[in-house]
Structure 1
């Protein structure tokens, strides 16, 4: 068995609430721009066993990702059904423009269907967080996702950057329950209440910015644990999430780091060390805080 075959075999997945299987580790593509950069990153990722890829309308790389995957799949002996592709609705398209925004993502990626499509942000771009129309726009956007889910264009649908309150609102009105919530989650931002709510309601929590936009890699606590396990700081942070049944989508354009970031299933952090990392919590957001969006 080759190295990549071993890695694919070791990869764990989660069964979403509609029965769809999603790999627990995927490649994030935020800030990955230009066809050559996209091609090289995806080529390295496929070579090291990644089968899940996360993008979004606002990343402005959907078309390049779609083209790169179509070019690369034959080289790696793969087909579309071997992949799990996620994209997200632009906040500018909330409301009546939502279905058109979804269709633009489908057209840009040009891969037949998407495995997961998320509402990227609970508020509409260009409007203040306290704008009372946000709930109605969110509901209209979700209804558009439900229609495309029903048509088979999306295999699963979910949301990103939603709070418990946003989720409660959605669950009170939806016809299709969200399968995934993607949020910022790391030792400096341990969203325990949100994770518990998702677990209780059958929603898989997937973390972005697991490395704290890189800031956590130089934390002495993280570095000390990495040294004790003979691992990289990134591997320790990613493994910490996985042991909570939280999916991760680390982003890198460097082949060596891409390879390292998926080597997460051959070691286990002790309960004591899981607690050491959890106690780093300082309610620090390195990206965007959605709590003020009504």
Structure 2
């Protein structure tokens, strides 16, 4: 079996868990409490949220209650949040980040990402996107230097957006979080991130949550899952981490939450990996940042 380290050392020297809990669309204190309890008890030690998810306060409040049950402290949990498109710009970025820290009831964030390369309300071709990105990044660098953020990175950036960032940043991005799965493999972008020592983290590894999920129902995925007696979700997640790519699967089902992190006790063969690699179709199931200048 191919052994995989459960954490990756980023270019800052800090470690990030390879598997985390995504919380997009998980809202309401009771539901958040149920999901977090299931995740922490199953062994998750990374929580991914964002200001636009509208659940930071519920996550912060419930973590305060749940962590002591498992003899855990704040330092044992890796918390990621993100800057919303409406808060791009120097002053708004700083205020938004500090607000996230406040409502999450922690003194710092382990990782803070620019959620989208564009500012809200602007046309995709507007040149002001570049100025806003730069102002936001500079505000994040200041927060990093103040110890409010341990690591900074970006989400939904393409190679050209990162190249632009690398031209002026004094602290390079530690993480790129972007849509990634067998139907959208982004190989040139992965190679670029590896070259620049930027950790590549996938979202939507399992596709969308609709009834017509084309990833979980893909015949190749199902065939491999039956052969290995694993769930289709476990196969998809294992395919990613076997390439040293981070995953943040989201679920509100306690059984699925537990299953989604039990992906280190089996391996995909070279044949299985190739079969999944051959599913590339350049299909986005979420947002495509290609249009943003």
TM-score w.r.t. structure 2 length? 0.96
Deviations 1:15-48 (A, max 9, x none): 0001101100000000000000000000000000
Residue 181 of structure 2, aligned match among 156, 179, 186:
186
Alignment match, 2:283: 284
1:43 aligned onto 2:42: no
Alignment match, 2:20: 26
Shift of 1:11: 6.6
8 Å CA contact 1:117, 1:158 repeated in 2: yes
Secondary structure of residue in 2 paired with 1:74: helix
Residue 129 of structure 1, aligned match among 115, 124, 127:
124
Shift of 1:138: 0.2
Separation (CA, whole Å) in 2 of partners of 1:149 and 1:268: 37
Secondary structure of residue in 2 paired with 1:75: helix
What does 1:1-294 align with in structure 2 at a 5 Å threshold? 12-96=6-90, 97-214=92-209, 215=213, 216-294=215-293
Shift of 1:101: 1.2
Secondary structure of residue in 1 paired with 2:68: coil
Separation (CA, whole Å) in 1 of partners of 2:19 and 2:97: 24
Shift of 1:289: 0.1
8 Å CA contact 1:181, 1:203 repeated in 2: yes
Secondary structure of residue in 2 paired with 1:213: coil
Secondary structure of residue in 1 paired with 2:220: helix
Q: Which runs of 4+ in 1 moved over 6 A?
A: none
Shift of 1:100: 1.1
Aligned residues: 285
Alpha-carbon RMSD across the aligned residues, in angstroms, is 0.9
Shift of 1:273: 1.0
Shift of 1:179: 0.2
Secondary structure of residue in 2 paired with 1:39: helix
Separation (CA, whole Å) in 1 of partners of 2:140 and 2:275: 40
Separation (CA, whole Å) in 1 of partners of 2:250 and 2:5: 17
Secondary structure of residue in 1 paired with 2:190: helix
TM-score w.r.t. structure 1 length? 0.96
Secondary structure of residue in 2 paired with 1:217: coil
Q: Which structure 1 residue ranges, 5 or more long, are not aligned?
A: 1-9
Separation (CA, whole Å) in 1 of partners of 2:60 and 2:289: 29
8 Å CA contact 1:11, 1:265 repeated in 2: no
Separation (CA, whole Å) in 2 of partners of 1:114 and 1:98: 14
Separation (CA, whole Å) in 2 of partners of 1:71 and 1:150: 30
Shift of 1:231: 0.2
